[in-house]
Amino acid sequence: MTVAVPLSLIEAFDELARTPDARLIQGGTDLMVEINFNHVKPVDVIALRRIKELRTWQVNSNNTITIGSGVPYQEMEVGQLKELLPALAEAARTVGSPQIRAAGTLGGNLGTCSPAGDGLPVLFALDAIVHLQSLKSSRDLSIHEFMLGVKRNARHTNEIITGVTVPVLDGWQGYAKVGVRNAMVISVASACLAVDKKNNSVRIALGAVGPTIIRCRDAESWLVQQLDLTSATSIDTTIAQEFGRRVALESKPIDDHRSTAEYRRHAVGVLAQRLITRAYTS
Amino acid sequence: MSTVKQDTRLRDILGTSALRPDGVAKVMGSFSFSSDMWAENMLWGATLRSPHPYARIISIDTTAALLISGVSAVITAQDVPGKATYGLISADQPVFASEFVRYMGEPVAAIAADHPETCRRALAAIIVNYEVLAPVVDPELAMLATTEQIHPDGNLIRHQKIICGDPQISGDITVEGHYTIGMQDQAFLGLEAAMAFPDSGGKGVELHIATQWLHEDRGQIAACLKLPEDNVRLVLGGVGGAFGAREDISLQVHCCLLALHTGRPIKMQYSREESFFGHVHRHPAKIWMKHHATKEGKIVKVESRMVFDGGAYTSTSPAVLINGITHTQGPYQCDNAVVDGYAVRTNNPPCGAMRGFGVVQACFAHESQMDKLAQACGLSPVEVRLINAMHTGDKLITGQAMESVAPVERCIRETDAIPMPEPLAANANVLEFPGGSGRTADRQNIVRGIGWGVSMKNLMYSEGFDDYATARCTLSNGIASLKFATSEVGQGFVTLAPQIARSVLGVDDVVFETSDTQIGSAGSTSASRQTWMSGGAVDGACRLVRERLFEHVGELHNIDPIRLMIEHTDVIDTIGTFRISVTEATQGITLSETFEHHHRKTEDLDANGQGNCHVAFAFVAHRAVVDVDIELGLVKVVQIATAQDVGRVLNPLSAIGQIEGGIAQGLGLAVMEEIIMDNGRVKNPSFTDYLLPTALDAPSVVAIMIEEPEPQAPLGAKGIGEPPCISVTPAIVAAIRAATGKALSRVPVRPQDICL
C-alpha cells in the first residue's frame, strides 16, 4: 500500500491522476476502521490531512459560511462557528470522543455518506452546497443530490470534496441524537431542526432512520400553515405533538442490532416535538 | 558500615493508600502488556474460526495455505499430540474442532507466518467444507431429551436442586416473577496475547501469557501437548484486565503448538472482534422466583427455577450454576426453599466466569422480588430488607451456617444514611441529563427514581476445592524479595503484597521476582480471593522469615528471640534497649521461606443441595438514584450510595477503585452492555456496538466501607472485587421502575422497554 501525503490540492490532484483508484483519507475515523476490519484493502491512499486549504473556514459576504472538508469537528464546537451554526456545534459534540472529534471532519461524513453520520442532518436541514473539485473543473451540488443512498454519493472518483457552504439563518436551530449511552455512541436516531424566519420556513432533517438523511417536507409545510414562524414566540403543545407525529410518519427506519424500527420512529417524533418546542421557548 | 537508623517511619504499609508500582507506566503508556512482546526470529500465529454456530466439518484442505510464501505451519486437530480437548471443569472443548463446530467462532485451524498480513491470506486460503446444521439456541429446548444432543456429553451440563426445610409450606403473601439476564462481556481492554518460545529440541516450551491462573493453564496445555508439566513453563505477561474472561484457555495451546511445530517463537494476539469470539461470556439466564412471606413481610419460603445458558462447552458452568442457586435467598433469612437449577449446552458462545459468577443473575431476581414483596406488604424497600436481613450464625438454604461476619443490617442502614443527591437544578448542564451529549432531554422530560439492591457473595472456590496460594519471601541486606504466581490483572496485588511485607518485616524496599510457574500455584485471580489467599500466603511467608530474623538476631546478640519485635524499620528488644535496623541485621545473610495458605475445607452439595459448600461471604448494599427520560427511555444514573462489608481496608485507594469500577460494570449490565445474539450469531462484536459506560454515564459514587474484621481471613480483610458489581444492577433497575412504573424484568433495560 502506498500513502501519498500531498501538501496542496494541486499536489493531491496530481496524485489522484497518477493513482485514480486511490482511497482518500481525511481524519481516518472511518477508513482506518474498515482497514482494521479487513473490509477494504486499498492499494493506494491519498491523505488529505496536510492540505491547509481544506482545513479553513470562512464567513462569506452573502451571509453564508464555507467550511473546508478537513476542518475537524472540535473546531465547530466553539467560537464563531458555534455562534453562527449552533446546530452544527451540537452535532459536532455528539461525534465520538475528544480524540475522534480532533480527527473527524465533515469531509469524512460526506465521503462515507452513512445515514448515521452525525453532521449530515445539519447539512440537510441547512440545504448545504457541497463543493467538489477535480484537476480540470469544479462543481457545486446540493446535499440533496449529493447523498444517494447508504454509503453512496455523487462524487466522481477524480473529485475531491473540498467543503460545504451553508447559510447563516435568522432563527433558532438545534440538533438532538438518541444513542443508548450518554456519549461516544453511534446514532440510533437523530434530528436537526432549523427555523428560517426570513423565508418563513422550518426545516427538519432526520438521521439513521432511512437509507439517506430524510427531510420531512410534508411536516415542514404543514407546520408553516399552523404557525407564523417569523413572529411566533411560543407553540401550542398540540401543534408540537402533531408536528412530531407527522415527522415520525416520514421516517423509514429499520430493525437492526442497535435498535428497532418502532423505537426509531417513535424517537424521531419525540425529538421533532422537543426541537420545535425549544425553538419557540424563550 | 551503615549506621543504625532510629525510628524511621515506614511508608506504604497496610492501611495506607500506597500507589500501584505500575500505575505511572500504565498511564504513560510505557507498561509492557503481553501484546507488546517481541522476539528475534518470531512468527505470527493466527486462528481460523467457524463462521457457523453449528455445522459438520466435511473436510479441511490446507494445501493452498501452505503454499503461500511466508507460511511456516498450518495445524488442525490432527496435529494435537496429546489430549484433543481441554476445559476448567470438564475437558469437553476441542483444541481444534474436527467433526463438528458448535459455536460461531470456534477454532478450526491455526497458522504461523512471517507477517499478520500473510496470516490473513493464509487463513483465507484454508478450505473448510461445512455441512451447515440448524443450531440449538434455546436452553429450554436444548435440555429436553427429544432435542438433538449437540455434544457427546449431552446437552444438560448440570442439574442441581436445593430442598430446605418444609417444601410444602406457604405464606400469607406470595409474589413471583420471571426474570431475564442478557449476555454480558468482560470487555477487558488488554486483548488476548501471548508469546511462546520452544525449547531447543522441541521437548518443552515457555509461554508468556496474560492469564488469571498460570498453573491451571499449564496443566491443560501440558496435557494437550503431551509434555510433562515441568517442561511447560508459564510466565505472566502484562495483563490488561480480566474479570473472569482469562480463566479459560483461549490461544495458549495454539500458540505453544505452533512454536513446537516451527521451532520458532510465536506471537499471537487477538483483535477486539476476535476477542469477542475468543473468550467466554457471562451466562444469560432465565429465572422464575416466588417468595412466600408473612403479611408482615418476613420471608417464609423461596422457590426458584434457574436456567443458565452455558453455550457450546462446559467451562465453569457447573460452578456458576451452584453459585446461582445457593444465592437464591440473597442476604436474607430463609428457612424453607425449593430451588431447581439447570446449566445447559447450546450452540451459543461458551459462557463461563465473569465478576459475580452466577450471583449476579440470582441477585437481579431476588432483589426484584424483594421490591415486589415490599409493595405487597406495604413496606418500603429498606424496611422489607431490614426485616429479613441475615445475621452471623443464620442457617443458609444449603444447611450451611453463616460463619462469616454478616453486617447486612449495617450495610443497609449506613447506605440509607448517605445523603441524597441534590435535585436536578433548573440550570443543570444538559450533559448531565439522560441522553447526555445527544441533547435529547429538557428539564421537564426527566423523572427521578430511587431503587435498592443488597447482595451476598461467596468468596474463594467452593464445593471441596482446595484453591490454595503459595508465596516465597526472601530477605537480604534490608531488601525483601517476593515470589508468587499470582496474576496481577489490575486488582492491585502488586500494591498489596509489598504493603504486607513492609508491615511484617519493617523493610522499605520490596522487589518482585517474576510471576511464573517456578513456584507453587497461587490459584486464580477470581472469586474475590487473592487478597485473602495470596495475601495470606505472602503474610505467612513474611512471618516465617521474621521468625528466622529474630532467631538470627537473638543468637548474635544473645537475646531470647521471643523478646524481639519489629518497630517501624527496626528490630527491638521489647524489654531492653537493644535496637538494630532490619537493613543492618540482614547484611550479608539471606533468609528465605515459602508458605502455602489454604482456606478451610468445604464439601459438595448432596442430592438435595445440602452441604457446607462455601468458604466465606461478603455483603453490600446499593442505593441508586436515576434520572429517566420516560418518553425516550434514556437513563442517567445520578448517584450510587453504597456501604460494603470489607472486613478491613488494606488500601483505601485500591478499595475505592474496586468499588467504583464494579459499579460501572454493574451499571453496564443494567442499561447497556449486551452481546446480541441472532440464532447463534453474535451481532455486535465491537466496541462500536457493544456499549461500555463512558465518563458521562458514570454516576457519582458515595461509598462507606464497613470494617468488621473477618476472623477467618488472614489479614481480616474480605475480598472486595465482586460485590460492587452485583446488587448495583437491580438497584438501578428498581430506580428506573420507580421513575417509570414499568415492570422491567429484563437486563439490560433497553430504551424501548421503558417508552414503548
DSSP symbols for B666-698? HHHHHHT----EETTEES--STTTSPPP-TTTP
| The predicted structure's pLDDT at residue B427 | 87
> Does the CB of B140 have a partner CB in chain A at under 8 Å?
no
- State percent of chain B over pLDDT 70: 99
Report the CATH number of the B41-134+223-229+246-273 domain.
Answer: 3.90.1170.50
pLDDT at B174 over 60: yes
> Are B92 and B153 in contact, with CB atoms under 8 Å apart?
yes
The number of C-beta contacts closer than 8 angstroms across A and B is 96
Task: Give the sign of the dihedral formed by CA B223, CA B224, CA B230, CA B236.
Answer: negative
* B354-373 mean pLDDT: 98
| The predicted structure's pLDDT at residue B5 | 46
| The predicted structure's pLDDT at residue B9 | 59
Reading the block at residue B718, the C-alpha cell is 474480605
> Does the CB of B434 have a partner CB in chain A at under 8 Å?
yes
What is the maximum span of chain B, computed from C-alpha positions, in angstroms? 84
Pick the residue with more confidence: B205 or B201?
B205
Confidence of residue B6 (pLDDT cuts 50, 70, 90): very low
In terms of CA atoms, which chain B residue is nearest residue A33?
Answer: B688
pLDDT digits (tens, 9 = 90+) for B141-155: 999 999 999 999 999
Confidence of residue B1 (pLDDT cuts 50, 70, 90): very low
**Which chain B residues are closer than 8 Å to A282 by Cβ?**
none
Distances (CA, A) of B41 to A16, B38, B195, B416: 39, 9, 12, 61
| The predicted structure's pLDDT at residue B3 | 45
Query: What is the rounded average pLDDT for all residues in chain B?
Result: 97
**Which chain B residues are closer than 8 Å to A177 by Cβ?**
437-440
DSSP β-bridge partners for residue B87 = none
Euclidean distance between CA atoms A276 and A235, whole angstroms: 8
Angle value at C-alpha A139, between A135 and A142, nearest 5 degrees:
145
Euclidean distance between CA atoms B679 and B406, whole angstroms: 43
Q: Under 8 Å CB-to-CB from B561, ≥6 apart: which residues?
A: B547, B550, B551, B553, B554, B555
A181, B691: Cβ pair inside 8 Å?
yes
> Are A69 and A106 in contact, with CB atoms under 8 Å apart?
yes
| Cis upstream peptide for B265 (omega within 30°) | no
pLDDT digits (tens, 9 = 90+) for B399-425: 999 999 999 999 999 999 999 999 999
| The predicted structure's pLDDT at residue B250 | 98
Task: Give the sign of the dihedral formed by CA B307, CA B308, CA B312, CA B317.
Answer: negative
In the three-class reduction of DSSP (H, G, I as helix; E, B as strand; rest coil), residue B309 is classed as strand
> Are A69 and A25 in contact, with CB atoms under 8 Å apart?
no
B439, A262: Cβ pair inside 8 Å?
no
B438, A259: Cβ pair inside 8 Å?
no
| Nearest Cα to Cα of residue B177 among B308, B341, B360, B306 | B306
Euclidean distance between CA atoms A192 and A177, whole angstroms: 9
Residues of chain A with pLDDT under 70: 282
Task: Give the sign of the dihedral formed by CA B241, CA B246, CA B251, CA B253.
Answer: positive
A182, B434: Cβ pair inside 8 Å?
yes
> Are A24 and A34 in contact, with CB atoms under 8 Å apart?
no
pLDDT at B275 over 60: yes
Euclidean distance between CA atoms B242 and B36, whole angstroms: 17
pLDDT digits (tens, 9 = 90+) for B480-491: 999 999 999 999
- State percent of chain B over pLDDT 90: 98
DSSP β-bridge partners for residue B55 = B101, B132
Confidence of residue B268 (pLDDT cuts 50, 70, 90): very high
Report the CATH number of the B285-462+604-755 domain.
Answer: 3.30.365.10
Reading the block at residue A228, the C-alpha cell is 407564523
Q: Which 8-state DSSP code applies to residue B132?
A: E
**Which of the residue ranges A35-44, A237-246, B230-239, B720-729 would you say has the lowest mean pLDDT?**
A35-44
* B673-696 mean pLDDT: 97
Euclidean distance between CA atoms B431 and B275, whole angstroms: 32
Euclidean distance between CA atoms B215 and B232, whole angstroms: 10
| The predicted structure's pLDDT at residue B2 | 42
| The predicted structure's pLDDT at residue B11 | 87
**Which chain B residues are closer than 8 Å to A241 by Cβ?**
none
> Does the CB of B28 have a partner CB in chain A at under 8 Å?
no
- Kindly give the interhelix angle for B493-505 and B530-557, rounded to the nearest 10 degrees: 30
Would you kindly state where each structural domain of chain B is located, as residue ranges? 41-134+223-229+246-273, 285-462+604-755, 467-597
* B368-393 mean pLDDT: 98
pLDDT digits (tens, 9 = 90+) for B495-542: 999 999 999 999 999 999 999 999 999 999 999 999 999 999 999 999
**The domains spanning B41-134+223-229+246-273 and B285-462+604-755 adopt the same CATH topology:** no
Which site among B271, B439, B675, B678 would you substitute to test the A interface, given the most A Cβ atoms closer than 10 Å to its Cβ? B439
User: Element (H or E) spanning B496, and its range?
Assistant: helix B493-505
How close B679 gets to chain A, by Cα (Å)?
13
Helix, strand, coil content of chain A in percent (nearest 5): 35, 25, 40
| The predicted structure's pLDDT at residue A282 | 63
Give this complex's ipTM.
0.97
In terms of CA atoms, which chain A residue is nearest residue B754?
Answer: A263
In terms of CA atoms, which chain B residue is nearest residue A190?
Answer: B438
Euclidean distance between CA atoms B108 and B99, whole angstroms: 10
Spell out the CATH class of B467-597. alpha beta
pLDDT at B4 over 70: no
Would you kindly state where each structural domain of chain A is located, as residue ranges? 2-167, 173-279
**Which chain B residues are closer than 8 Å to A259 by Cβ?**
751-752
Helix, strand, coil content of chain B in percent (nearest 5): 30, 25, 45
> Are B373 and B300 in contact, with CB atoms under 8 Å apart?
no
Report the CATH number of the A173-279 domain.
Answer: 3.30.390.50
State phi, psi for B628 to the nearest 5 degrees: -125, 135
| Nearest Cα to Cα of residue A95 among A113, A120, A70, A124 | A120
A178, B440: Cβ pair inside 8 Å?
yes
Euclidean distance between CA atoms B630 and A51, whole angstroms: 47
pLDDT at B644 over 80: yes
Report the CATH number of the A2-167 domain.
Answer: 3.30.465.10
In the three-class reduction of DSSP (H, G, I as helix; E, B as strand; rest coil), residue B640 is classed as strand
| The predicted structure's pLDDT at residue B65 | 98
| The predicted structure's pLDDT at residue B70 | 98
Euclidean distance between CA atoms A232 and B215, whole angstroms: 74
pLDDT at B387 over 60: yes
B751, A267: Cβ pair inside 8 Å?
yes
pLDDT at B747 over 60: yes
User: Half-sphere exposure of B116 toward its Cβ, with a 13 Å CA cutoff?
Assistant: 8
**Which chain B residues are closer than 8 Å to A98 by Cβ?**
none
Residue whose C-alpha cell reads 443512498 in the numeric block = A149
Euclidean distance between CA atoms B217 and B563, whole angstroms: 45
A181, B751: Cβ pair inside 8 Å?
no
**Which chain A residues are closer than 8 Å to B695 by Cβ?**
183
Beta carbons within 10 angstroms of residue A3's beta carbon: 12
B445, A274: Cβ pair inside 8 Å?
yes
In terms of CA atoms, which chain B residue is nearest residue A260?
Answer: B752
Euclidean distance between CA atoms B54 and B147, whole angstroms: 14
